[in-house]
């Protein structure tokens, strides 16, 4: 009995050491409280949003996961320019009955984990006090809170990106062991396979190497081994990519960067313009009301030494850290601005930059605390309480914005979800559907779903020659319907629909019979039509 108790206590000790060996001082203990608060906030969001309808991208990931997990015999609409990891790790949730709820909880864990790894990484770059204040900001960030309730890949990818840099810093910069460097390469592959846009932060690895060794990094064998690991693990994605779009490197160059003859031919050519700075100009909204004022003050205070001593950067580790803190978000903002090259900004695309943006914001508060201690003779504990109180007051609008957005968007696309579930109950598994909301309809109905332009969507995008014969117009659609005999068609206000498609029921009343109508108030927002042959 005594031996078994000793064995249990020994195992408990090992678990505690594994989970909390990083807890060294009071800052780490306070952080555990903040991390628990971050988790509770995200659980609260999880409960509020666990049954909300999926948007297009979320349904794209989940329809692929559901098809794999349940072995559904429906057509593959997966967009192979995307990394395949998220649907792959989501598929078992459907296989074992946890379904969408399990994936939503996984988002909660990734979001909480993002706060955790950001704290650990920032303790390497600055100090624990700043890292602790940043963790408070991340806990209440409207961007993180809102998208913790959405099934998307931005937060999981951001978590993996920061974790990868954490291991890279430990393995390469601090020389704690090659295993950390190689583990960094593996995790960065996971980030890219979760979200291909993660590639955009690769220059930050190169910049760290240059700052550390100048040109000598080229001769560093360990870096080449890490690169080799990365390329080998990317082979499955390169294969899938090339099987649908040809050479992945030339396609990425033309499709994302808008460079080359192919980019000109497809109308995807990009040029440098003021649009590159759209994400930078959106920083006030990304950070939230009031908080962003401190960003401009903090930017000057934090980087002032870097500006004065830039010529000494290769001799001063603190300047190297500050330059990296500047370069990391700048890389994300400029590349996203260039790749997007439009006025529309998706704030979630810059999630990985949040720790660095909030670091700049809390820096003036830290300096203010130092002034209170030196000039007003306040003890450190009192000054810390004051700056944390100020920070929490500044973050209240962030929390309110997140809550308001969650409530406002909680039922968006509800009618699309309801229509898909109704079709599932009123059709056979082998029957097909026409809808502009393709991934949502597939996910909820579990039926093969085609858009109104099957030739373009499935011919050009996925390379299926069977659909290339259909023209993308009225006649082409009717020919497609004649050949494939779809069961239902959905018209709604939720997705863009060709003008000719909107008049199909009026021009073909004997073919399309309205069978189900969904209203918002007195307005009809979605109609299901049944084909009569």
C-alpha to C-alpha distance for 159 and 148, rounded to whole angstroms: 12
Give bridge partners of residue 449 from the DSSP assignment: 433
Q: Is the pLDDT of residue 459 over 90?
A: no
| Pick from 444, 438, 486, 489: nearest CA to 462 | 438
| % of the chain exceeding 90 in pLDDT | 69
DSSP letters, 165-195, are: HHHHIIIIIS-S-HHHHHHHHHHHHHHHHH-
C-alpha to C-alpha distance for 355 and 116, rounded to whole angstroms: 11
Spell out the residues 6+ positions from residue 107 whose beta carbon is closer than 8 angstroms to its own. 46, 148, 149, 150, 151, 152, 155, 156
Q: Is the pLDDT of residue 162 over 50?
A: yes
Neighbours of 299 (CB within 10 A): 16
| Region for 519 from its dihedrals, namely left if φ exceeds 0, alpha if ψ lies in -120 to 50, beta otherwise | beta
**Model confidence at 159, in pLDDT bands (50, 70, 90)?**
very high
Neighbours of 351 (CB within 10 A): 27
Q: Over range 436-448, report the average pLDDT.
A: 95
Higher per-residue confidence, 10 vs 399:
399
Q: pLDDT tens digit string along 283-299?
A: 999 998 888 889 999 99
C-alpha to C-alpha distance for 340 and 256, rounded to whole angstroms: 8
Higher per-residue confidence, 318 vs 20:
318
Q: Is the pLDDT of residue 101 over 90?
A: yes
Q: Is the pLDDT of residue 265 over 60?
A: yes
Q: pLDDT tens digit string along 340-391?
A: 655 678 999 999 999 999 999 999 999 999 898 888 778 888 998 999 999 9
Q: Is the pLDDT of residue 142 over 60?
A: yes
């Amino acid at each position: 009995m005594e031996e078994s108790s000793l064995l249990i206590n020994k195992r408990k000790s090992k678990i505690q050491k594994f989970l909390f060996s990083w807890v060294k001082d009071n800052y780490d203990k306070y952080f555990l409280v903040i991390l628990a608060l971050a988790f509770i906030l995200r659980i609260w969001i999880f409960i509020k949003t666990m049954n909300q309808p999926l948007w297009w991208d979320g349904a794209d990931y989940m329809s692929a996961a559901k098809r794999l997990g349940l072995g559904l015999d429906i057509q593959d609409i997966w967009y192979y320019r995307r990394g395949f990891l998220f649907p792959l790790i989501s598929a078992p949730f459907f296989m074992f009955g946890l379904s969408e709820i399990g994936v939503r909880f996984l988002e909660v864990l990734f979001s909480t984990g993002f706060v955790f790894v950001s704290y650990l990484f920032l303790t390497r770059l600055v100090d624990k006090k700043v890292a602790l204040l940043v963790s408070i900001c991340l806990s209440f960030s409207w961007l993180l809170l809102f998208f913790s309730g959405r099934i998307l890949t931005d937060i999981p990818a951001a978590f993996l990106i920061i974790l990868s840099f954490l291991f890279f810093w430990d393995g390469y910069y601090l020389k704690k062991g090659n295993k950390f460097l190689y583990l960094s390469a593996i995790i960065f592959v996971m980030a890219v396979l979760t979200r291909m846009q993660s590639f955009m932060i690769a220059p930050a690895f190169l910049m760290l190497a240059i700052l550390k060794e100048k040109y000598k990094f080229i001769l560093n064998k360990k870096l080449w081994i890490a690169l080799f690991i990365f390329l080998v693990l990317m082979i499955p994605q390169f294969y899938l990519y090339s099987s649908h779009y040809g050479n992945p490197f030339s396609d990425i160059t033309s499709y994302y960067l808008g460079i080359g003859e192919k980019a000109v031919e497809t109308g995807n050519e990009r040029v440098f313009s003021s649009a590159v700075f759209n994400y930078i100009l959106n920083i006030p909204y990304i950070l939230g009301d009031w908080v962003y004022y401190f960003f401009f003050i903090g930017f000057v205070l934090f980087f002032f030494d870097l500006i004065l001593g830039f010529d000494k950067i290769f001799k001063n580790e603190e300047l190297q850290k500050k330059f990296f803190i500047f370069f990391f978000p700048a890389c994300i903002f400029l590349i996203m601005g260039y790749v997007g090259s439009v006025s529309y900004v998706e704030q979630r695309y810059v999630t990985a930059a949040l720790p660095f943006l909030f670091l700049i914001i809390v820096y003036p508060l830290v300096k203010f605390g130092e002034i209170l201690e030196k000039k007003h003779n306040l003890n450190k504990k009192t000054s810390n309480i004051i700056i944390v109180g100020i920070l929490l007051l500044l973050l209240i609008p962030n929390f309110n914005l997140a809550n308001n957005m969650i409530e406002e968007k909680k039922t968006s696309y509800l009618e699309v979800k309801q229509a898909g579930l109704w079709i599932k109950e009123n059709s056979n598994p082998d029957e097909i559907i026409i809808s502009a909301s393709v991934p949502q309809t597939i996910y909820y109905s579990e039926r093969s779903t085609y858009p109104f332009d099957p030739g373009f969507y499935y011919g050009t995008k996925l390379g299926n020659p069977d659909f290339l014969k259909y023209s993308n117009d009225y006649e082409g659609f009717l020919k497609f319907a004649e050949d494939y005999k779809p069961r239902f068609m959905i018209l709604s206000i939720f997705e863009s629909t060709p003008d000719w498609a909107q008049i199909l029921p009026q021009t073909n009343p004997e073919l399309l019979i309205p069978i189900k109508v969904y209203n918002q108030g007195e307005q009809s927002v979605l109609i299901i039509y049944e084909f009569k042959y």
